[in-house]
A = this chain, B = another copy of it.
Amino acid sequence: MKTRILSHFQRVIHCNLGNPQVLGQRPITFFREVLSLCDNPDLLNKDEARALFSPCAIRRARRIINSIPGKDSGGYTSSRGIKSLRQAVADGISARDGYPSKPDDIFLTGGASAAVNMMMQILIRSHEDGILCPLPDYPLYSACIILHGGTMVPYNLTEDRGWGLEIFEVKRCLEEARSAGLTVRAMVVINPGNPTGQVLSITNQEEIVEFCRKEGLVILADEVYQDNVYVENKKFHSFKKVARSLGYDEMDLSLVSFHSVSMGFYGESGRRGGYMEITGFGDDVKGQIYKVASVTICPNIAGQILISLVMDPPKLGDESFETFEAEKEKIHSSFWKRAKTLEKAFSSLEGVSCNKIEGALYFFPRLHLPSLAIKTAESEGVSPDVFYTHRLLDATGIAVVPGSGFHQASGTIHIRCTILPDEDKIAAMIPRLKAFHESFMNEFRGSEPYMNDLRR
């Protein structure tokens, strides 16, 4: 492989990582104040603390500490998490959905990954158990399925329809898997999507609910980007809300919803906090989940506190409310701007098609590269997406992830890019991206026509 020279740009621009705070996103002040006080409850009794912490952070921290057995934040908790915090999460879900949620259905977890890993461990009994997963996929799912010895049953999202999920395709995959002797136990849906950035329409969600109910599949709903929606015509709806609004209750459908503190406007990834809401399972299954959770004893307390804050943020009348809303709005509107800017920039590139970035923190543009580029990649022993991303990094310092890391459809070339670099960095990167891409295309075009012409 060509030696990569990194000297002609000053810094790498990381569009590869879904790691908000390492890329400069500021934490929410109220959340950090409460965490800081809960870590050191002695502060709650000190007058000097009033100069450093908002009154409602002090009140909240006191309430949390008083609700913990032992009245401190250092003991083991229930393997499900602290009851008062599960109640706060359940209340937050009820308020979000307009349908009731119960603390007994909530497991607090060390982030969504730990929760997904646990559910896969419980669902998968052998290689004959299959789990439906979207392609392109977030690699957590394939990793957990392999780790626990199951079989991934991939279904394709339809790029030409805005990465929509088409039930006939899922049905086809389910039937194929069943014919091959697999017992398909569950269907993973990531909404908003990673790496694809789409938000499912409510009609689409209704179809999924009907399908899973009919086929007896558990819905594993990855809803960690519920606070990352950027389009006017779509909203986040939890699968539980969709199911209940169709009139289905716990008897009709088994559903797990995953959420975490890692994304949204909070971006507290390294804190490892999250929840799963488990509905439509018998007490025996919940007992087994509890047993597996108890192997690692309990989720970390700071993460438990943080997910309770995410689901129960400051309200109108709280001293922190305005600051909180302003911080949230600032991050959200900046995400919105970055998404528009990047979508426009990538769409303007020759041979590149880019779906609307509706939600999450990513997009997954498709590249139509000249055949000489593809041949050169082959001769260097790498796939075309890897070849392009290395060239891009070499020339510009822009780091993106090759689409093959997300099981892109065979014969296609994609990259995954985040919207996380700040607006200034994005503004600086776009001219470099355009110049690189033009020069890349010119270098490899040979006698081929312009790729955008080719696609017409």
Contact = CB atoms under 8 A, between A and B. Distances in A.
A297 interface: yes
A75 B295 contact: no
Contact of A76 (B37, B269, B292, B301): B269
Contacts of A39: 32, 35-36, 39, 302
A25 to B, nearest CB: 8
Contacts of A121: 147
A112 to B, nearest CB: 10
A326 to B, nearest CB: 16
Nearest to A298: B270
Given A42-B32, A49-B52, A70-B22, A147 B295 contact: yes
Interface in A11-51: 17, 19-24, 27, 29, 32-33, 35-37, 39-40, 42-43, 46, 48-49, 51
A36 to B, nearest CB: 4
A26 to B, nearest CB: 8
A6 interface: no
Contacts of A111: 296-297
Contacts of A21: 70, 72, 74-75
Nearest to A26: B72
A354 B129 CA distance: 50
A216 interface: no
Contacts of A69: 22
B113 A296 contact: yes
A22 B72 CA distance: 8
A19 B297 CA distance: 11
Chain A interface residue count: which class? 35 or more
Interface in A279-312: 292, 295-303
Contact of A302 (B37, B76, B300): B300
A361 to B, nearest CB: 13
Interface string A41-68: 0110010110110000000000000000
Nearest to A297: B113
Contact of A144 (B24, B147, B295): B295
Contact of A296 (B33, B40, B52, B110): B110
A270 B113 contact: no
A268 interface: yes
A270 to B, nearest CB: 4
B27 A33 contact: no
Contacts of A140: 295
B74 A270 contact: yes
A349 interface: no
Nearest to A27: B74
B303 A300 contact: yes
A427 interface: no
A244 interface: no
Interface in A172-213: none
A102 interface: no
Nearest to A121: B147
A367 B200 CA distance: 63
22 contacts: A19-B75, A21-B75, A22-B70, A27-B72, A27-B74, A36-B36, A48-B48, A48-B51, A74-B267, A74-B269, A74-B271, A110-B110, A110-B296, A113-B295, A113-B296, A114-B296, A117-B295, A269-B297, A272-B297, A272-B299, A272-B301, A302-B302
Given A32-B40, A111-B296, 17 more contacts: A19-B75, A19-B76, A22-B69, A27-B74, A35-B40, A48-B48, A48-B51, A52-B52, A74-B271, A75-B269, A77-B270, A113-B297, A121-B147, A143-B295, A147-B292, A269-B297, A271-B302
> Which 9 pairs from chain A and chain B are nearest by CB?
A22-B75, A22-B70, A36-B40, A272-B300, A21-B74, A21-B75, A270-B301, A36-B39, A48-B51
